Amino acid sequence: MTATALFLLLFLFMFMGMPIAIALGLSSIMTILLFTNDTLATTALKLFEANTGHYTLLAIPFFILSSQFLSTGGVARRLIRFAVASVGFIRGGMAMASVMACMLFAAVSGSSPATVAAIGGIVIGGMVKSGFPKSFAAGVIANAGTLGILIPPSIVMLVYSAATDVSAARMFMAGVIPGIGIGIVLMVAIYIFATVKNLPRQPFAGFAEVTRAGLSASGGIFMIFLVLGIIYGGVASPTEAAALSAVYSYFIAIFLYRDMGPLKKVEGKSIGPADYLLALPRSVLDPEVRHVLLDAAKVSIMLLFIITNAMLFAHVLTAAQIPQTIAGAITDMGLPPWGFLIVVNILLLIAGNFMEPSAILLIMAPILLPIALTLGIDPVHFGIVMVVNMEIGMITPPVGLNLFVTAGITNQSIMWVVKAALPWLLILLACLLVITYVPEISLFLPNTMMGASTY
């Protein structure tokens, strides 16, 4: 009775058009009050524990703030310049450079929508001007932007770690090969398509330009090695590394690139040591810096609000013995590991059409992971399978966030973007199949560098 009421209320509120966070929270509270013996005081305590009880989740607002500074501070533009200089001379090279830029930005942002907005806002128009079809450019960016949650650091991986107690560091390392592999597959597909359609390519910019572009982008690229290096080197936890990334991105945006803040470049103005000393206190009052902080706060609050309500929903599920019932039903079916993974992929692909990735992971992971462990599936590999499914959910209607961001950039309808993204979506589905059934792709790096999992 409790389970039926919970899911009926959830779907009713969602079909009424409620935001997913409100639907999750309201259905949970109504179920608690009407069908359980819990009180509102207990509910309030669970809401409080949802955020304060998971140290890993503290990394999310730091990574979001870092992403905002990097997007606004010119890092994305420099990464694109480096990518174009490196591979732009190949047939379809500008589209391949866009994928490469998405991969690089994903490694410093941890967010798919942020990757699409930062890279797509620059390269889609550039590709169209260079002779690429607009639908081709939009489809490539919408799909390549999904790498933002697979290539570490990843906000979605942090949510999975918080929901399951699987090591966030192992999850980050497990995402490296699948993320780079999907990026390479997309680039190969672009080359084949560009060769068949005779799409344009840029003249080789020369090794000097590649070097200059690489040095220009080095501030952002170094952050990849800084954050991941201190995590894998055991110097800091993912949360501490996220805090460092926020501070680092602030300094390179304000003091190194000076694309925002009080030292913002002005033609003919020389900047001396005194200006740098005064820039730190002045940056607090700078309108651009305050705008970045406000945007980061809005995104963080929105995401943490979703996570909080999803954790309350998961608490009601657990109290009603729903995970145990589902786990028992699936176990009684006698599915082999490969059959269970098929069921999981279908379930997650369907859920990705209607819900935000963090909410899906917080609800589904505690239910599905115990079954996976019973079948001998590694929890880190299982987490990567879930994350890749969440990637695909970012570009499937009706709530795929990357679709909305791409539609805003191109000034086209959602259905136009869906049609543009569909051919590349099929490539992601093929990659999901390979990653699901070849666990070594995910487990090679963490098992080699950190030892076998002891979960």
Q: Are 151 and 161 in contact (CB under 8 A)?
A: no
DSSP string spanning 347-371?
A: HHHHHTTTS-HHHHHHHHHHHHHHH
Q: What is the pLDDT of residue 161?
A: 92
Q: What is the pLDDT of residue 50?
A: 63
Residues 291-322: b if buried by 16+ CB within 10 A, e if exposed: ebeebbeebbeebbbbbbbbbbbbbbbeebeb
Q: Say which residues have a Cβ less than 8 Å from residue 361's Cβ, sequence separation at least 6.
A: 156, 159, 160, 163, 386, 390
Question: What's the farthest any 2 CA atoms get from each other in the chain?
Answer: 75
User: Domain-by-domain residue ranges, the chain?
Assistant: 38-450
Q: What is the pLDDT of residue 111?
A: 83
Q: What is the pLDDT of residue 73?
A: 62
Write the single-letter amino acid at 159. V
Q: What is the DSSP letter of 58?
A: G
Render each residue's pLDDT in the chain as its tens digit; 455 residues: 777 888 888 888 888 888 878 888 898 888 888 887 777 777 777 777 666 656 777 888 898 898 888 877 678 889 889 998 999 899 999 999 999 999 999 888 878 888 888 888 889 988 898 889 999 999 999 999 999 899 988 889 999 998 888 999 999 999 999 999 999 999 999 999 999 988 888 888 889 999 999 999 998 889 888 888 898 888 888 889 989 999 999 988 888 888 887 877 655 566 777 777 777 777 777 888 888 899 889 888 888 888 888 888 877 877 777 766 777 777 778 889 999 999 999 989 988 887 788 888 988 898 899 889 988 999 999 999 999 999 998 898 877 888 888 988 888 888 899 999 999 999 999 999 999 999 999 999 999 887 665 55
Q: How far is the C-alpha of 393 from the C-alpha of 146, rounded, in Å?
A: 9
Q: How far is the C-alpha of 38 from the C-alpha of 47, rounded, in Å?
A: 13
Q: What is the pLDDT of residue 454?
A: 52
Q: How far is the C-alpha of 367 from the C-alpha of 363, rounded, in Å?
A: 7
Write the single-letter amino acid at 426. L
Q: What is the pLDDT of residue 266?
A: 56
SS3 451: coil
Q: What is the pLDDT of residue 188?
A: 95
267: phi then psi, degrees, rounded to nearest 5: -55, 130
Write the single-letter amino acid at 320. A
Q: Are 393 and 143 in contact (CB under 8 A)?
A: no
SS3 173: helix
SS3 378: coil
